[in-house]
């Protein structure tokens, strides 16, 4: 028995033809990504060379893994790794907890005008760069002219220069980062709250549940899928402790607790001209981050049914 072809295009081909305009619209973005994201990756070869800018990529001496071995033996690399993971983990945890609390509290406000005003005030710092915010923080925390110093003096206490205290500096980074970014996370969780079926709250009111009980037994469980998704996807930022923030706020006094991989690469690469070692450190960070990103997407698929494609 012979099958006779009808000549009709397959469903996949028909779907592709319908999507051709979308692919054409996407083409400029793909070209930009190839030029600015993938083409510069040629520079990763520097991690395996004793790079000399005058000799270029193909003229510099090949040293293999020597830059990585030198990096691992540097006396301060272990502390830099610890600082990066410690600060990044605190930011990840607080970056989840604080926006969730903000969203639940805002959801309890019934006056629309007050709710929008508070939400706007919380969201404003997200639009400001760390260059601006760091200047504001330096002025506020100055032990001589800062507002916080005046409060300490009014209370009869000696002002503390938080930006020069190694033990306090990592926590200052976390607090200021949460202050800047919590507004953005709050919007995400508020959107998750609006998707909860109102009939659940009506039933809870009929059963005599107060607002706190409603938040615990209805709002939080209803937000659980997006919370799990955001938590798992944030694993990819395990080695991203905030380059712009740290660079604008830290000083040699707090290198022991505030120096992270990105600022470490910046100093040894651009300030000390150790291009090979700096590139090796950046490649090491990218490899570790890639593993955590892959793990994050797998966890997001398993627990939140999230897929990229």
In tens, the pLDDT along 46-98 reads: 888 888 888 887 888 888 888 889 888 888 888 988 998 899 889 988 988 99
The pLDDT of 268-283, averaged and rounded, is: 86
- The pLDDT score that the predictor gives to residue 1 is 47
Instruction: Report the C-alpha gap between 95 and 107 in whole angstroms.
Output: 18
Share of the chain above pLDDT 70, in %: 95
Residue 273 has pLDDT above 80, yes or no: yes
Residue 2 has pLDDT above 70, yes or no: no
Instruction: Report the C-alpha gap between 49 and 58 in whole angstroms.
Output: 10
Q: What is the DSSP letter of 62?
A: E
Question: Average model confidence (pLDDT) for the chain?
Answer: 84
Share of the chain above pLDDT 90, in %: 7
Residue 241 has pLDDT above 70, yes or no: yes
Two tokens, residue 130: 């760390």
Instruction: Report the C-alpha gap between 307 and 71 in whole angstroms.
Output: 36
- The pLDDT score that the predictor gives to residue 76 is 86
Q: Report which of 272, 249, 261 is spatially closest to residue 88, judged by C-alpha positions.
A: 261
- The pLDDT score that the predictor gives to residue 309 is 53
pLDDT tens by residue, 7-19: 566 777 787 788 8
**0.85 exceeded by the pTM?**
no
The pLDDT of 152-171, averaged and rounded, is: 85
DSSP codes, 277-301: HHHHHHHHHHHHHHHHHHHHHHHHH
Beta carbons of 188 and 123 less than 8 angstroms apart: no
Instruction: Report the C-alpha gap between 268 and 77 in whole angstroms.
Output: 12
Two tokens, residue 195: 């998707």
- The pLDDT score that the predictor gives to residue 32 is 94
Residue 31 has pLDDT above 90, yes or no: yes
Q: Which residue would you say has higher pLDDT here, 308 or 29?
A: 29
The pLDDT of 139-166, averaged and rounded, is: 82
Cβ neighbours for 296, distance < 8 A, ≥ 6 positions apart:
232, 233, 234, 235, 236
DSSP collapsed to 3 states, 226-239: HHHHHHHHHHHHCC
Beta carbons of 287 and 239 less than 8 angstroms apart: no
């Amino acid at each position: 028995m012979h099958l006779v072809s009808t000549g009709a295009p397959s469903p996949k081909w028909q779907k592709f033809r319908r999507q051709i305009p979308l692919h054409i619209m996407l083409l400029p973005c793909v070209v930009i990504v190839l030029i600015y994201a993938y083409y510069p990756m040629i520079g990763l070869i520097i991690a395996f060379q004793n790079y000399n800018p005058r000799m270029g990529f193909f003229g510099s001496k090949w040293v293999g893994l020597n830059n990585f071995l030198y990096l691992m033996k540097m006396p301060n690399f272990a502390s830099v790794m610890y600082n990066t993971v410690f600060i990044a983990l605190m930011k990840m945890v607080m970056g989840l907890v604080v926006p969730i609390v903000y969203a639940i509290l805002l959801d309890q406000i019934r006056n629309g005008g007050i709710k929008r005003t508070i939400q706007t005030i919380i969201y404003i710092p997200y639009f400001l760069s760390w260059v601006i915010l760091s200047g504001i923080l330096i002025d506020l925390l100055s032990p001589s002219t800062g507002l916080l110093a005046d409060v300490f003096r009014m209370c009869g206490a000696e002002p503390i220069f938080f930006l020069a205290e190694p033990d306090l500096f990592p926590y200052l980074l976390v607090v200021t980062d949460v202050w800047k970014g919590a507004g953005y996370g709050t919007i995400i969780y508020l959107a998750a709250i609006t998707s909860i079926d109102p009939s659940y709250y009506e039933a809870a009111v009929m059963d005599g549940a107060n607002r706190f009980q409603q938040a615990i037994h209805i709002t939080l469980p209803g937000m659980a899928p997006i919370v799990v998704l955001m938590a798992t996807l944030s694993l990819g930022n395990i080695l991203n402790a905030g380059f712009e923030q740290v660079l604008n706020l830290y000083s040699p006094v707090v290198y022991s607790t505030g120096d992270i991989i990105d600022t470490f690469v910046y100093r040894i690469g651009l300030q000390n001209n150790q291009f090979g070692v700096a590139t090796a450190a950046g490649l090491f960070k990218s490899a570790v981050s890639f593993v955590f990103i892959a793990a994050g997407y797998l966890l997001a698929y398993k627990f939140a049914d999230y897929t990229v494609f």
